[in-house]
């Protein structure tokens, strides 16, 4: 099984002003004249991490990471105004132009896969190919499954902690109940809701169960941005015209775009059925189902297939 490449430092970092309100962090590592790739983080609101560089051979790739609006090192933290899918797509274009990149590989997991697909259908001519993990399309069924009822049956212990800040009477619509608290003016209740929301995702992300929750999900600033931005995007249905809109666009526009999909068989956050539906409208994409893996990008089988994918595109596009 292939493992992550050794840690590399960013060679160059910067902030790009993308609106009156927002500045976004970008960074570059790897080979300055290599094959450009942009890696898109999840959430939305999850922020990038140095680990994301390690899916790419630094001798072959020019690796670009950004922190999407309102999270990571981008400012202001947790800001919801002027924060939507199409603003992020235009930020990606702004970074591409700033770095004088003509075309690039687009890599993303979870919400990063949603954003990568939204970018690719809008800027197909800039997208050499897509490497996607933990496919998520923000449909009503996916939101219902994870934030209301479904995943609750597999993780009843973690689910009790998730719903704890919400009074019984409001549990019939958890998305609305969390949204009210996450955007309300009681800061203590906002942070309490944010941590419960973020920990739910952290505790269900691997097949190891709640004890393997990564540390940062309970940190105030991380949880606040992650929960608020996710909830904002989900109550707005991803800022897509309708539930099936993105799949329809993919079917129309991506038939000539190469794609490699990696998805854990036991992904509870974003169940495999969405990757299956994606594969049906985009038959040229190669779907790799990973036995013994959940949603995380860092489970061994998932890492192995993602690295095989970046190697394959490295050979194909260099």
Smaller CB distance to ligand STX: residue 46 or 314? 46
28, 79, 201, 299: which one contacts ligand STX (CB under 6 A)?
201
**113, 224, 295, 296: which is the annotated catalytic residue?**
295
Instruction: List residues bridging with 64 in a β-sheet.
Output: 28, 38
22, 41, 179, 232: which one contacts ligand STX (CB under 6 A)?
41
Query: Would you count residue 70 as binding ligand STX (CB under 6 A)?
Result: no
Query: Would you count residue 314 as binding ligand STX (CB under 6 A)?
Result: no
* Region binding ligand STX by CB under 6 A among candidate stretches 15-23, 37-45, 166-174, 299-307: 37-45
Question: Is 267 labeled as catalytic in the residue annotation?
Answer: yes
Query: Would you count residue 42 as binding ligand STX (CB under 6 A)?
Result: yes
- Provide the 3-class DSSP secondary structure of residue 15: strand
**67, 91, 267, 304: which is the annotated catalytic residue?**
267
Is residue 9 within 8 Å of 34, Cβ to Cβ? Answer: no
Is residue 124 within 8 Å of 104, Cβ to Cβ? Answer: no
- Nearest residue to ligand STX on Cβ basis: 42
269, 275, 306, 309: which one contacts ligand STX (CB under 6 A)?
269
Query: Would you count residue 46 as binding ligand STX (CB under 6 A)?
Result: yes
Smaller CB distance to ligand STX: residue 40 or 128? 40
Site for ligand STX in 99-138 (CB under 6 A): 110-111, 136
CA distance 249 to 304: 30
Is residue 240 within 8 Å of 59, Cβ to Cβ? Answer: no
Query: Would you count residue 264 as binding ligand STX (CB under 6 A)?
Result: no
Question: Is 179 labeled as catalytic in the residue annotation?
Answer: no
For 34, other C-beta atoms within 10 Å of its C-beta total: 17
**110, 113, 296, 297: which is the annotated catalytic residue?**
110
Place of tokens 């999407």: 68
DSSP for 253-297, please give it: H-TTS-EEEEEETT-SSS-THHHHHHHHH-TTSEEEEETT--S-S
3-state helix, strand, coil in the chain (%, to 5): 45, 15, 35
Question: Is 41 labeled as catalytic in the residue annotation?
Answer: no
Place of tokens 């924060």: 83
- Count of residues that bind ligand STX according to CB under 6 A: 11
Q: Which of 249, 10, 257, 271 is nearest to 131 (CA)?
A: 257
Smaller CB distance to ligand STX: residue 67 or 230? 230
Which residues participate in catalysis according to the annotation?
110, 267, 295
Kindly list the residues in this chain that would bind ligand STX in the complex (CB under 6 A): 41-43, 46, 110-111, 136, 201, 205, 230, 269
């Amino acid at each position: 099984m292939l493992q992550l490449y050794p840690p590399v430092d960013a060679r160059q970092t910067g902030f790009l002003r993308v609106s009156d309100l927002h500045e976004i962090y970008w960074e570059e590592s790897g080979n300055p004249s290599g094959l450009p790739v942009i890696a898109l983080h999840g959430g939305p609101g999850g922020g990038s991490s140095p680990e994301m560089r390690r899916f790419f051979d630094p001798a072959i790739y020019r690796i670009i990471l950004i922190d999407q609006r309102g999270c990571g090192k981008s400012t202001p933290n947790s800001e919801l105004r002027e924060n939507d899918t199409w603003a992020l797509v235009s930020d990606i274009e702004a970074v591409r132009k700033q770095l004088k990149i003509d075309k690039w590989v687009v890599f993303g997991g979870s919400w990063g896969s949603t954003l990568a697909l939204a970018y690719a259908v809008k800027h197909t001519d800039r997208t050499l190919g897509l490497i996607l993990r933990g496919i998520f399309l923000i449909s009503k069924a996916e939101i219902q499954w994870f934030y209301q009822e479904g995943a609750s049956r597999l993780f009843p212990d973690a689910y009790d902690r998730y719903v704890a800040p919400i009074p019984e009477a409001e549990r019939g619509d958890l998305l609305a109940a969390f949204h009210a608290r996450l955007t309300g003016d009681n800061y203590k209740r906002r942070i309490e809701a944010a941590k419960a929301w973020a920990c739910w995702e952290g505790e269900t992300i691997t097949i190891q169960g709640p004890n393997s929750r990564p540390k940062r999900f309970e940190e105030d600033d991380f949880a606040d941005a992650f929960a608020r931005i996710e909830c904002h995007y989900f109550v707005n249905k991803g800022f897509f015209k309708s539930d099936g809109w993105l799949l329809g666009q993919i079917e129309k526009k991506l038939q000539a775009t190469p794609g490699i999909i990696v998805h854990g068989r036991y992904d509870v956050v974003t169940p495999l059925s969405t990757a299956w539906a994606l594969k049906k409208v985009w038959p040229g994409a190669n779907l790799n189902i990973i036995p013994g893996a959940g949603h995380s990008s860092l489970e061994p089988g998932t890492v192995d297939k993602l690295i095989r994918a970046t190697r394959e595109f490295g050979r194909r596009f260099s």
